[in-house]
Structure 1
């Protein structure tokens, strides 16, 4: 199949004969113009385009001192990013579109104009897991709403595009970064070179290793990436070959116990005794041993310390030629993507004595199962670690066998002289194939709550001394055989699209269409499929020749009873807008768009599919739609940029949501909802001499508009949706130094859709200073969360439980790093 995609990509260029015409790399701007090319038909001055767009250059990104991509994207107006989990599997949305699930459902993350994954919210495999920002990065372009729905599939909310350097500028840099007060060392470099007048190349990458900014007790970060490209320039265009090799391991910081006092409307959150929310996690070398059954029901051992292991090997083609008045653009990439994702996640947090009673009955006793005190009794449950807490947790084991994809996007544009104006027409065809081959296991363990990377597993015995657990395992599964699954899926997407834009004088009017055809097929195995297929069995998991109680609760796959998936879908997306350039410095625009997002793995193992025939029970389950209205103003003069956009959006949503039940225990719920949102987005930049300030803010009024399962939620604010999010970066750039600060913040929001427990608003301050003692040397110090503020990303309980303990995630406390760079 991938060879067919390669042939389809190359074939158009075998027919092209270079002609005597001058073509830049990709619609190069005239001097002074701000040209934008992501999610639009043809790159043009942003003041002539009826879209809301932003761009962050590499020099603007480096001062942020960001470790995760989410930390960078949080500084772009309109983008909501929840990145407390580390480098990967963050949650992204744009404006008021919901974050009801995980990942980036309505926002597509791209590299060099093509999606990293076709769907950004696949289970424990978000697109950002397979992306890294390093010295290869030239800039990040984002388009919010607008034509994103018609110039990319599955992106009705917008597109975020990481654009690589291509060797336009000769030279490069090497740098080393050292964590000040935490364990991480990183080296990286890049180099661009013009081989001759028509041939240039660029190569770069990084490698890092260390424990990371949280105390986990082991080397949690290890790996890096290499990216390279070579460009051949012709008289009428160019051809570029590019490749990427990513092999990187990072930790997945999941939810931890948090004490809460006060009221739902005015809560106070603190860490348990001997557990620091800003520096600790439940990850530890003492609670890392995974025992489960694989996709063939064979015993497999693994280690939570493997964390998020991202492996990507990709190669692609990017080409553009002018032929007979047409500009033909071709983008192709094939990627071999795999790895794993392993972590610890609490599903219930309670006093240790209470859980000893729940699982061990009256007189149940506790002992350490792992760690330096393994085998020793815990004499006082109430005094355990000074906080007396115990968690019933999940080992999340996800083996990413194949997320391979092949993607091709070819388009042709031409500008026609019609009357006094220019008519731009574009036609294109997009085709992709996305695998989703995953083994998933949820395993139930007991763990104590202790910081500094010392958390351990705990055993329970009855009063008569009968073991309830085995080496800290309550069961080698959860709820019988829930979430013990194997997916072997493929998603095919074909999408022809076209656009037309007429620009005459100060007015530009345009519209675009896209028709997505999808083919979904594959096989599933899992106990949830019903029909008596509950896969609970007895296995001697530790091989000691004896069967414990936990070993009678082993989740297995019913390999003789597959679930079939085989359905097609199609939907239309469209967008139309008008732009009026009032003056050279000022423009206004209006736009209406309707875009679709195909359902991916989130509807599998739900009643949406008939697993005997493979067909959808209701064709509406195949995709969700987003309808948006935008009215905007753009102003630009020397030293000042000001953009403001009012927006209104309606969203249909089918998803799975992790929340809590009435008792405060974690559950996974299928949701079918409608949402409405309206608001205003502002972006501004001012530069005067050595001083500059950039910033953005988004005000959103959002609500749940439909919910058949929970009509009481109608009118409520969606969870995590703040009224206001903002970022501001003032800085002063002198001859030998640059210093400044980055402020990011949000007002309060609700933890869950019930609108009870509030998450407090916060403002985080990140400071930076760059010193350039000589022309080629730079020393940079970044301090993130300068004032060490406690800021919560999310909490899974809807209200304060009787125990006064919830499960949530906090952003990192104060961390500092130093970077020494040499430029050549």
Structure 2
């Protein structure tokens, strides 16, 4: 049965299509969308006022909708990964992927996602979500502006980079577009938008998408379903404008985790026949009706039903307002927004490596005898909840465990930014000064339940029970309970609220024509207040199984916490343009990031302010549609908190602390170029070469920090990049474009000690677009050669010393060959 929100999503594109004949005149020439192919991009992110990309003294890209269509990204991380300095991993699914900027050792915590210059949630990472889960790309994104390093720490919090979606706004000329995307992975997606005038000086834009996707891997249920609506109304005044906007997201996205790819008993033996490299996943219909057990604070045993197919279910609503005015040269900008949302997240995580079935079973023999008596003679497997015997030797010979995670959170975030800018002349050149105040009040509640299961080694695995038998074959008890290896090994609950304000200033000083010096500073003060529920290990008391012997339960004790961190960021740069075509710049920046508000809702938080000093020097060249930007960079990250919690298979908990505090140093150079060889052939490319390494580590638990000294930072390559050729020609009244994309990812390591490598890999993609009047057809293909590649290992167990093999045998593979057909009509 169709739900109401599904009907609403379907009504939006239909309304746009029906409105088109009424609102549209003859198909107009769209407003000039300045894409990254030109040398005269107009940018606003990280700048006092709009200016040419060439004129700024930092690294930035502006990517238009036309560019995005040719890049044809799988998700936002895939799009960002085409830019230099950004190493991304796109294999987790549509959202919550990995974003690393110039070697900063984080999975995304230093990348600020914004919409029209303002974040929708103040912190870059919420409880199991980041910006790409609440600001999704669609046709309402006019362009994407991405700042790498530079002034990012002054113009945003927690920011080594800014990813800013500039939304479509209406104009005097009505325009719109509808787009249908079909994929051979069971993808069905409809995008649409409509924009135009309401009356003199008042304009509107509305658009969004609805999508269902079976997925790049076979879960046994749909991967993604839902969509997004965005709308705004803008009114122009004689000296400025005001824009009101609203966003609504209701979307499910399934999360892909690592899979075993080779037999740990013999790493040369592939497991592909049991769990397919490109289509296999441990996600399974077996987890559509999970029963989670734990004890509440009143001592009562609770049960919760959870469904893996819900995935990352994001429901988010945002309203915003933007005002800009020019008062005799004083530029006033005021932006505000309020976001409220819910996230229910279910996923099946990898834990320990697969184990020989016999060895694994016998490892529980002593524990079974201690509970079920000395009459236990042997251990054996059955399919969970049945008496059907399962013999691992008849399949892979292996069994494995995995962790089902159920997280529920609510969040809110109110944020506002007020700034005033003024340009003025002095006897020593011209200054452009900007002063601003940013403030936010935000918070999160969360509850997390992690429960471990025993499964077969197979795609869409079945759950197993491990049974203790007597010498006569009588079942005396089970290690597991309906597939559950450990009931609720991890249990957390808490709430945290925060207020913060920031004062910032930036001055751009044009000393003489061509020579500009700019500097900025940002000071932030935070106040966190929250609570966390204390847990303890208990036995739920079922004498027939071991699965409930090490369960977590709430004690009823609450820990209250308060923190008041403050940080100061700054940047300074100088730029000299020898001409409108050639220039150089240098810049230094200092980035500090306070701990997340989640430390106030944690029982045992790690409270540390991270700091990074960044230095960069750039060369700029632009001529016509060709350009080359070369940036050398050096980052010193001190202190670096590389601590993590390892998985303990005995208790089933992620609670083994491995503290590592030290430094990270990254030296490198990035190349961002495009050459228009002929009017019909162009070549885009991005290349990053760096040396990311650890320095001066210390550990308080006996782990050997010397083994990490000078080693390559986990999961970060020394070389990565892409090349994108494009050919254009016409046949009659139809215009054609043929384009390709070659991606390269260098060797990385899964562990601090660099014992287990993630081998280098490369992929090839291609596409063709035919445009006839207002109609367009596009055919796209990714990873055409079915190249193999892993983007991470098994982070729950291998982060310190690897997987016991020189190359990873457990990881998250890249997606296999797939195709998409896109049909669109503009008006």
Shorter-chain TM-score bucket reads: 0.7 to 0.9
Extract unaligned runs of 5+ from structure 1.
Answer: 1-24, 528-533, 541-545, 610-615
1:243 Cα deviation (Å)?
0.6
Counterpart contact for 1:108–1:160, Cα < 8 Å: yes
Distance 1:656 1:316, change over 3 A: farther
- Equivalent residue number for residue 463 of structure 2: 457
- Equivalent residue number for residue 414 of structure 2: 406
Distance 1:805 1:144, change over 3 A: closer
| 1:102-501 equivalences in 2 (<5 Å) | 102=107, 104-155=108-159, 157-168=160-171, 170-180=174-184, 182-259=185-262, 270-292=270-292, 298-348=302-352, 349-360=354-365, 363-369=378-384, 374-378=386-390, 380-383=391-394, 386-400=395-409, 402-419=410-427, 421-451=429-459, 453=460, 455-464=461-470, 465=475, 466-478=477-489, 483-501=490-508
Among candidates 56, 62, 67, match of residue 60 of structure 1: 67
Among candidates 729, 736, 750, match of residue 724 of structure 2: 729
Among candidates 672, 678, 683, match of residue 683 of structure 1: 672
| 1:14-33 equivalences in 2 (<5 Å) | 33=40
Distance 2:421 2:766 in 1: 45
Counterpart contact for 1:507–1:578, Cα < 8 Å: yes
Distance 1:586 1:761, change over 3 A: same
TM-score if structure 2 supplies the norm length?
0.86
My pick for the range that moved more, 736-745 or 228-237, is 736-745
Describe the superposition over 1:4-52 as per-residue Cα deviations: whole angstroms up to 9, x where unpaired: xxxxxxxxxxxxxxxxxxxxx9xx99x9742221123332223332111
Counterpart contact for 1:175–1:188, Cα < 8 Å: yes
Counterpart contact for 1:628–1:649, Cα < 8 Å: yes
Counterpart contact for 2:757–2:806, Cα < 8 Å: no
Distance 2:431 2:808 in 1: 62
Counterpart contact for 1:716–1:754, Cα < 8 Å: yes
Distance 2:747 2:649 in 1: 23
Distance 1:686 1:318 in 2: 37
Distance 2:193 2:513 in 1: 43
Counterpart contact for 2:39–2:622, Cα < 8 Å: no
Describe the superposition over 1:322-367 as per-residue Cα deviations: whole angstroms up to 9, x where unpaired: 1242101111111112121111112112122222222355621101
Counterpart contact for 1:64–1:782, Cα < 8 Å: no
Distance 1:526 1:741, change over 3 A: farther
Among candidates 568, 583, 587, match of residue 587 of structure 1: 583
1:662 Cα deviation (Å)?
13
Counterpart contact for 2:176–2:826, Cα < 8 Å: yes
Distance 2:56 2:808 in 1: 50
Distance 2:760 2:578 in 1: 39
Distance 1:535 1:525 in 2: 14
Distance 1:604 1:468, change over 3 A: farther
Among candidates 666, 676, 682, match of residue 692 of structure 1: 682
Distance 1:724 1:280 in 2: 29
Distance 2:762 2:739 in 1: 16
Distance 1:389 1:668, change over 3 A: farther
| 1:71-82 equivalences in 2 (<5 Å) | 71-82=78-89
Describe the superposition over 1:580-611 as per-residue Cα deviations: whole angstroms up to 9, x where unpaired: 011111111111110111111675688975xx
Q: What secondary structure sits across from 1:792 in the alignment? A: coil
- Equivalent residue number for residue 551 of structure 2: 554
TM-score if structure 1 supplies the norm length?
0.87
1:721 Cα deviation (Å)?
1.5
Distance 1:313 1:605, change over 3 A: closer
Extract unaligned runs of 5+ from structure 2.
Answer: 1-30, 367-376, 700-704
> Does 2:662 match 1:673?
yes
Alignment length, in residue pairs?
A: 754
Among candidates 84, 91, 97, match of residue 104 of structure 2: 97
